């Protein structure tokens, strides 16, 4: 029997979300991530188109966070990412201006390099961004799989004539499936899989890495034992004995901003209130600048202003690396030991399924507003309160066991097996794909 060809994994660098999902899939398949907006797939003209689009999006995202001047840009961003109310369920298949705009770009050979590679190899396409999927659907030779990275999506994710599409959509939540059907995509072409969380953070169908990390996290998040006293039988049944050596170890709060660097400046507001907790050994802190030198500079300045620059390496860490692959790998390693993730409700919303409680910052775009509601309705996260008093409300949540309860809600209520379901659907289950070793093989016995 002939072995099916593994798909080409393609993404576009429009924020970290699409790349995070693509990397999880590519690593599990033993394939590289191909960038549809970079050489060798994208020629100079196509690269210019993507650079302009990226610059407009990132600038608008950053400036939209300004208190007063950002209001018009927030409105513009909401208009660009607009998603109608889901109910009543109705026909929303009529193409929007954005859909027609994408068609014009396709006529200018957007995606030509990707299309040539698909024709040359005859391989199917697995992508985490809409435009490569629509390019391949329009003129590609083989199967097209599109992984959706938000709980709801704009009409631009479906092609002009959505009812005739060959794309198979793999969505992280039922709402996204219903939305695509409103846009005209046939129901049989949409499968709810969950988000493709990294294999190293899940640990396979047995969830060994996830359960080990969560067991240690719950001890650190529950210094008063308030949550553990309420749920001893459940914890013992699902996790077994919790690691006693984590008792008294301060939890790690990770603050991560998106690829555009929006909300980096918020660190200046919350760091002064966290200083007593850090210096008193009650909290550890990680600031994630990603690949952006400008974001790193903002964080370094905020640490100096708060009197915490001297704590770097002693309770405070700053994650920055200029390389995307290195950043994504280091971020996964950091998340394995993170206890609370403070971020805007981007694709990291789905990481709550790892038993990682979220503090949700202001959404950037309508899709993130829906992501935030999804997390809060599951009980896996809380809305960011006044950042000037973050030290106080975080300390209260730790003492009350509220963050431990959010971690448990995320673990028990949200989908964790997206990666493995997607691999099965594309015909490359984990064993055949040769996924790289995760924490199951690499982490020390006292991980967390």
Q: Is the residue at 201 inside a domain?
A: no
181 belongs to a structural domain? yes
282 lies in which domain range? 208-414
Q: Please state the pTM of the whole predicted model.
A: 0.90
Question: Is there a single domain that holds both residue 177 and residue 299?
Answer: no
Does residue 235 sit in the same domain as residue 171? no
Same domain? For 176 and 212 the reply is no
CA-closest candidate to residue 147, choices 10, 329, 28:
10
Residue 372 within a domain:
yes
Total number of domains in the chain = 2
How far the first Cα of the chain sits from its last, in Å, is: 44
Q: What is the CATH classification number for the domain harbouring 295?
A: 3.40.50.2000
- For residue 253, what is the DSSP state? E
Q: Are residues 237 and 306 in the same domain?
A: yes
Q: Are residues 286 and 396 in the same domain?
A: yes
- The verdict on residue 421 lying in a domain is no
Q: Is residue 436 part of a domain?
A: no
| Domain contains 151 | yes
253/129 same-domain check: no
Phi then psi for residue 142, to 5 deg, are -130, -160
- pLDDT single digits (tens) 338-364: 999 999 999 999 999 999 999 999 988
Cβ neighbours, 10 Å, residue 369: 17
pLDDT 10s digit of each residue in the chain, 448 long? 456 789 999 998 877 889 999 999 999 999 999 998 888 888 777 777 777 666 655 555 554 555 545 455 444 445 556 788 999 999 999 999 889 988 988 888 888 889 999 999 999 999 999 999 999 998 878 899 999 999 999 999 999 999 999 999 999 999 999 999 999 999 999 999 999 999 999 999 999 999 999 999 999 999 999 999 999 999 999 999 999 999 999 999 999 987 666 688 999 999 999 999 999 999 999 999 999 999 999 999 999 999 999 999 999 999 999 999 999 999 999 999 999 999 999 999 999 999 999 999 998 888 899 999 999 999 999 999 999 999 999 999 999 999 999 999 999 999 999 999 999 999 987 755 444 444 443 333 333 3
pLDDT tens for each residue of 166-200? 999 999 999 999 999 999 999 999 999 999 999 99
Q: Are residues 302 and 385 in the same domain?
A: yes
Q: At what angle do helices 267-279 and 390-400 cross, to 10 degrees?
A: 50
203 domain residue, yes or no: no
- 423: Cβ–Cβ under 8 A, 6 or more apart, which residues? 25, 28, 29, 429, 430, 433
Asked if residue 440 belongs to a domain, the reply is: no
CB 275 within 8 A of CB 308: yes
Regarding whether 150 and 102 lie in a shared domain, the answer is yes
- The residue from 125, 157, 192 where one domain ends is 192
Contact indicator for 147, 127 with CB cutoff of 8 Å: yes
**Tokens 């994630």, located at residue:** 288
Helices then strands, counting H and E runs in the chain, come out as 20, 12
Give yes or no: residues 178 and 68 share one domain.
yes
Contacts (Cβ under 8 Å, ≥6 apart) of 330 = 319, 321
């Amino acid at each position: 029997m002939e072995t099916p060809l593994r798909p080409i994994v393609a993404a576009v660098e429009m924020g970290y979300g699409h790349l995070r999902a693509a990397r999880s899939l590519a690593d599990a398949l033993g394939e590289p991530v191909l960038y549809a907006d970079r050489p060798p797939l994208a020629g100079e003209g196509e690269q210019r188109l993507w650079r302009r689009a990226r610059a407009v999006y990132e600038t608008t995202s950053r400036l939209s966070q300004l208190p007063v001047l950002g209001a018009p840009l927030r409105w513009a961003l909401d208009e660009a990412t607009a998603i109608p109310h889901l109910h009543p369920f109705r026909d929303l298949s009529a193409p929007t201006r954005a859909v027609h705009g994408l068609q014009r770009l396709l006529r200018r050979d957007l995606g030509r390099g990707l299309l040539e590679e698909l024709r040359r190899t005859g391989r199917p396409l697995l992508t985490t961004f809409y435009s490569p999927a629509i390019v391949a659907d329009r003129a590609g030779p083989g199967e097209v799989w599109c992984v959706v990275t938000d709980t709801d999506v704009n009409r631009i994710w479906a092609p002009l004539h959505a009812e005739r599409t060959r794309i198979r959509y793999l969505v992280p939540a039922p709402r996204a499936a219903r939305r695509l059907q409103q846009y005209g995509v046939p129901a049989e072409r949409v499968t709810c899989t969950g988000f493709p969380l990294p294999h190293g953070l899940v640990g396979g169908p047995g969830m060994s890495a996830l359960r080990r990390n969560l067991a240690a996290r719950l001890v650190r998040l529950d210094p008063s034992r308030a949550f553990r006293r309420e749920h001893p039988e459940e914890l013992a049944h699902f996790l077994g004995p919790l690691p006693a050596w984590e008792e008294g170890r301060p939890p790690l709060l990770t603050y991560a901003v998106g690829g555009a660097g929006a909300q980096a400046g918020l660190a200046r507001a919350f760091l002064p209130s966290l200083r007593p907790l850090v210096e008193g050994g009650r909290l550890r802190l990680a600031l994630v600048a990603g690949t952006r030198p400008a974001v790193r500079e903002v964080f370094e300045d905020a640490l100096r202003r708060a009197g915490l620059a001297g704590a770097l390496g002693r309770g405070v860490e700053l994650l920055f690396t200029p390389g995307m692959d290195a950043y994504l790998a280091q971020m996964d390693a950091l998340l394995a030991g993170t206890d609370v993730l403070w971020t805007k409700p981007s694709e990291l919303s789905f990481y709550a399924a790892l038993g990682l409680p979220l503090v949700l910052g202001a959404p950037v775009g309508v899709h993130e507003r829906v992501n935030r509601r999804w997390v809060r309705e599951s009980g896996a996260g809380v809305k960011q309160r006044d950042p000037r008093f973050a030290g106080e409300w975080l300390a209260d949540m730790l003492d009350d066991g509220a963050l431990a309860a959010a971690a448990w809600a995320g673990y028990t209520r949200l989908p964790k097996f997206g990666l493995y379901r997607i691999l099965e659907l594309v015909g490359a289950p984990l064993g055949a794909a040769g996924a790289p070793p995760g924490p199951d093989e690499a982490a020390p016995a006292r991980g967390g």
